Amino acid sequence: MKTQPKKRNTQQGYILVVALIAMLFVGAVFVASSNRSGAEERLATSQVHAASLESAIYAGMYRVETTSNSNNADGDSAASVCEAIKSELSDELLAIKKTFQTATDNNPAIYWKLVKLGSCKDYTGDDPKVEKEFQFNLIAWQGDESKPISRIAGNGKILIKNNNPEPNGVIDGLNNVFNQHGFGNNAAVTSGTLSLTGGAEVKGNVAASGIVIKGGAEITDGNLAYEEIDMPNNMKDKNWYKKAEKMLLDEKIKVDPLGLEKAMNESFYTDQDDKEILLNNLPKASVRDAFANLEHGQKKEMGQFPFQRARITPEKFEVYNADWRVEDHQEVDIPIYSPVSLLGEDVSLRVFDDFKINSGGKDPSLTISGGRVILFIDGDVEMNGGASMQIDSDSSLTLIVTGEFKLTGGFEFLNKNAVNDKGEPLFTLLSTYAGKKEAVKISGGTKLYGVVYALSDLKLGGSGTIVGQAFAANINANGGTAIDYQPAFGDGGTDAFTPELDSDFEINY
């Protein structure tokens, strides 16, 4: 990530104005002092020194700030950006004498110098956007530095501000997850270990606390950010490894950077009487029971005859009943809860006890259309062989799943891209099951197009593939599996951190 040059602010203009006024004041004193004598002359001279040296300190502070702003530092945290800016200042200004005012016949030159850079520290002030700070010290003098006519010192601070807005909602939060670490635009992110064995492959950038690579596994077309890496020495001669840029993470990846677990405990529905009901306490609907309640209905899953084609929109859940006595679309009675407060936004959603799409031989088994559809499944999800799903390009499907998620047996996503026309993931899986290893399993030659965010481990096996982006506690892939990076968001990560001069600086005479 790179720091962005900050637009010149009013404070910078203020510093220049002060310096110019001070210089004008100096000239006025020189003219007036020609008619003075004795003590008056010495007083005027001391005022000249003070005003000129103060202007030099202001000029030095302005130069420190502009040098900080011009820095193009790589970094995925305020700490790394802070250190990069200090390094730039050290190279450009530290201990280097700068001329503020050249000498005249009657007055020696005035200089300033950056003499010290403090360490990067956690910010302790009141601005919630500022994360780090460091102090710097300047001096200004007139004449010979070893025997100056007059000398003053100034102390200032550079503040490192995080300009990224707080994530608002699922989409913003996920975008932040995949872009805040390493090189950004990550195909795979894990707070634990990315383990690739056999012929497993990740295509794209990786950010992981640990990376383990064995057999013929590879990470291609991307760069690596990690705390530790474990791979045979002979693999380091591979072309893919030589081509990849590498960096150590300067900030640990959080176990739940989206804050999903906390959100699930706090999210609530507000009913017509303004009563707040926790999401986990909402009544759960059964698809099988709802299908059985239809005219000539049966207890079957989506995709199974006679309910081989279903359609879900933000407003309706419909299924085509192929029973010869019906042969028509019927609306399925599943409550919609709105508004539900979830991760900083109000959404509409349906609640199910489980969600299964089984083989039925009709494409698509499920169609998502009409906009954003969110389903909370307080149970398991199974999407398996012979079934398929179509998500219209102006729509999206988000599944929030507390149980196991299994995608297997050649289930087909008929859309072959990870992002919709609105720049949002076409399909999003939010797996909240933190207490079970490998609660998310993708196998059997299936390709998932979209985003996976799992608090448990993610297992890819049997040629299971994610085309998009994935986060999990640990990611385990073997055989012919892959995570194939495709951006699931309309734009990539933004440059978060910018420096600015603290307006509360001091000058010591």
By CB atoms closer than 10 A (0-12, 13-18, 19+), residue 241 is: middle
User: Per residue in 235-261, pLDDT tens?
Assistant: 888 999 999 999 999 889 999 999 999
Q: Is the pLDDT of residue 496 over 70?
A: no
Task: Give the pLDDT confidence of 81-93 residue by residue, as tens digits.
Answer: 899 999 999 999 9
Q: What does pTM read for this prediction? A: 0.69
Read out DSSP for 58-109? Answer: HHHHHHHHHHHHH---B-SSHHHHHHHHHHHHHHHTBT--EEEE---SSS--
Q: How confident is the model at residue 11 (pLDDT cuts 50, 70, 90)?
A: very low
Q: What is the pLDDT of residue 22?
A: 43
Per cent of the chain over pLDDT 90 is: 63
pLDDT greater than 50 at residue 161: yes
- What integer pLDDT is reported at residue 424 of this predicted model? 92
Band of pLDDT at residue 360, cut at 50, 70 and 90: low
Instruction: Find the mean pLDDT for residues 11-24.
Output: 44
164-186 pLDDT per residue, tens: 656 668 998 999 999 989 888 99
User: How many CB atoms within 10 Å of residue 128?
Assistant: 10
Q: What is the pLDDT of residue 235?
A: 87
Query: What would the two tokens of residue 405 be?
Result: 């998620």
Measured at the CA of 493, the angle between CA 488 and CA 496, to 5 degrees, comes to 155
- How far is the C-alpha of 80 from the C-alpha of 95, rounded, in Å? 23
- What pLDDT was estimated at residue 74? 52
Beta pairing class for 148-162 and 130-143: antiparallel
25-37 residue pLDDT tens: 333 232 223 233 3
- Pick the residue with more confidence: 375 or 423? 375
Cα separations in angstroms, 70 against 18, 377, 497: 23, 49, 13
Whether 456 and 438 have beta carbons less than 8 Å apart is answered as yes
Higher pLDDT, 208 or 22: 208
Q: Do 485 and 220 contact (CB within 8 A), yes or no?
A: no
Q: With 60 as the cut, is the pLDDT of residue 10 above it?
A: no
Please provide residue 357's backbone torsions phi and psi, each rounded to the nearest 5 degrees: -125, 115
Question: Mean pLDDT across the stretch 217-239?
Answer: 93
